């Protein structure tokens, strides 16, 4: 008669297995945490891009200057005795009544991008707009009236990395 040996793990083998499993699980978790943070940063960057593009579309849909014809005519400031407005910024209008590109100059929004929304996807974001004359397209303020305005939109997501978006509105 043959005696069967019992098969199984000893208590020491089980404890060693648990320790090895815990160490390997910790190593795997350390690789996953930075990836999750990077994913969140990418989502915030995408939202910042969406916000800037939306605002840029709104701004570029406006006329070049306060003194330009906005009813489909061919009258532009700087021509036929019509002077371009030297002062940049809004003329006391609320944002709903902005009618030219430079009305957005110095517009800033912090944490209330979509005021009144309960689930605002831009909570914690801030943005700032700068508009100036740049007729030679070098990105530097000309300091004088010219035929092009540079629009810079700076968006800062909660991660703190500021993204800058720029576009030109030309007087044509």
pLDDT (tens digit per residue) in 141-155: 888 888 899 999 999
Higher pLDDT pick, 76 / 167: 167
Mean pLDDT of 109-120: 67
Mean pLDDT of 47-62: 92
Place of tokens 């701004």: 59
Could you give the C-alpha distances from 5 to 2, 8, 9, 12, in angstroms and in order?
9, 10, 13, 19
Strand pairing class (148-156; 163-170): antiparallel
* Average pLDDT across the chain, whole number: 84
List, in order, residues 6 or more apart from 46 with CB less than 8 Å away: none
Q: Residue 155: which H helix or E strand, with range?
A: strand 148-156
For the record, the structure tokens of 63 come out as 């006329």
Mean pLDDT of 83-87: 81
Helix H, strand E, coil C: the string for 50-93 is: HHHHHHHHHHHCCECCCCCCCCCCCCCCCCCCCCCCCCCCCCCC
- Checking if the pLDDT of 70 tops 60, the result is yes
Stated pTM of the model? 0.73
- pLDDT value, residue 18: 96
- Checking if the pLDDT of 102 tops 80, the result is yes
Mean pLDDT of 34-42: 72
- Checking if the pLDDT of 165 tops 90, the result is yes
**In percent, how much of the chain has pLDDT > 70?**
88
3-state secondary structure of 23: helix
Backbone angles phi, psi at 143, to 5 degrees: 75, 0
- Checking if the pLDDT of 13 tops 80, the result is yes
Name the pLDDT band for 115 (thresholds 50, 70, 90). Answer: low
- pLDDT value, residue 72: 61
């Amino acid at each position: 008669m043959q005696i069967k040996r019992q098969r199984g793990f000893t208590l020491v083998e089980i404890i060693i297995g648990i320790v090895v499993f815990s160490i390997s699980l910790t190593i795997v978790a350390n690789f996953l945490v930075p990836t999750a943070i990077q994913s969140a940063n990418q989502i915030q960057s995408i939202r910042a891009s969406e916000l800037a593009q939306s605002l840029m579309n709104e701004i570029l849909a406006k006329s070049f200057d306060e003194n330009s014809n906005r009813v489909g005519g061919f009258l532009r400031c700087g021509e036929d005795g019509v002077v371009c407005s030297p002062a940049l910024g809004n003329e006391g209008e609320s944002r709903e009544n902005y009618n030219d590109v430079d009305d957005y100059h110095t517009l800033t929004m912090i944490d209330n991008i979509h005021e009144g929304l309960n689930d605002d996807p831009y909570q914690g974001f801030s943005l700032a707009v700068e508009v100036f004359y740049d007729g030679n397209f070098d990105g530097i303020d000309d300091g004088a009236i010219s035929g092009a305005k540079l629009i810079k939109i700076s968006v800062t997501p909660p991660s703190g990395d500021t993204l800058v978006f720029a576009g030109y509105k030309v007087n044509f």
